Amino acid sequence: MVKFQYYSGDIKRANPLGFVTLEQFVDKHKNPSSEMLAVFDSIEQATASENWELKAKLKMENLFSFTVSAQFKGARAYVNIVEFNGLAQLDWDGLTIDEAVLFRDYVFEHYPQVVCSYLSPSRHGVKALLRIPIISIEQGSEEGIKEYKDYYRAIETEFGNFKGFDNSPKNMALPLFLSYDFFLQARSYEDTLIWDVKELITDSLSQKFPLPFKPYKKLKSNDKNELRAIRTVRKVISGIISSPGHTQLRSACLIFGTRVAAGYVDMYDAIREVENLVAQNAYLSKGLKGYQTTAKWGLEEGMKTPNYY
């Protein structure tokens, strides 16, 4: 039986209140009480009005939270891990409500390793639980944490391709707040395939879960120039296989930055785009920090001069 700990909504209270099973977790999300629906409605209103302080207060005072990837003896801290669960949390934020609904179903249908996927409390995000191997605690918590991070590194490579991906849940001590979704997608844990990948490489012949680098975004009719700019920078950066890496990367990002300045691509989307492209490039990833600095510099310089199609 898969079970994990739950907590008070106040994240300062780090000791668990008890355990819930995976089945109970799914049921609570699909069948919330009327009182909880009222709380979620208030959270949605706070999000719509961008009252982030009220949103945080509502969550902390009213919602339970969970740690789905590990069990703790005492406070929620790495040094207190006593068991690893066979689950990893995935999170996407900053979507429109329509995008979130579509993506909830997309990620469940396209990844048989996803146990469940559902909307976040604000309805502008998607959360999912991914089945991973159960890590043995016998090797020690430090080695176990390292192994978990190995799995999550591959998770970031794969699922970071999609718009709004947040890698914060790679921290196993981070609480996952209760949400609700009448149309939550779920399959039994036993029927879910296991995400057992620790490294994803660019060679399509050996990549276990191939996925083109294409952030999930429902394109509108006026998005053709955005798509054109993104396709161009992807093609150039993905094609860098040798020195001079900095020069090639700088040129690509300078041009991409001019398209950002022209209003075709959102600045934050552009930064995330080039950082992920560098991280996924077999050659550039060997000097990740340096190349990402070069990429960001090129973007910022390019954004000083808009260039229109």
Residue 211, pLDDT > 70, answer no
Mind listing the pLDDT tens digit for each residue in 94-108? Answer: 888 888 888 899 899
pLDDT of residue 70: 94
pLDDT band at 200 (very low <50, low <70, confident <90, very high): low
Mind listing the pLDDT tens digit for each residue in 69-86? Answer: 999 998 888 889 999 999
pLDDT of residue 11: 66
For range 152-166, the mean pLDDT: 84
pLDDT of residue 201: 54
Conformational region of residue 18, where left means phi above 0, alpha means psi within -120 to 50, and beta covers everything else = left
Nearest CA-CA partner of 150 in 166, 128, 135: 135
Which range (185-194, 205-214, 251-260, 270-279) has the least confidence?
205-214
- Structure pTM? 0.64
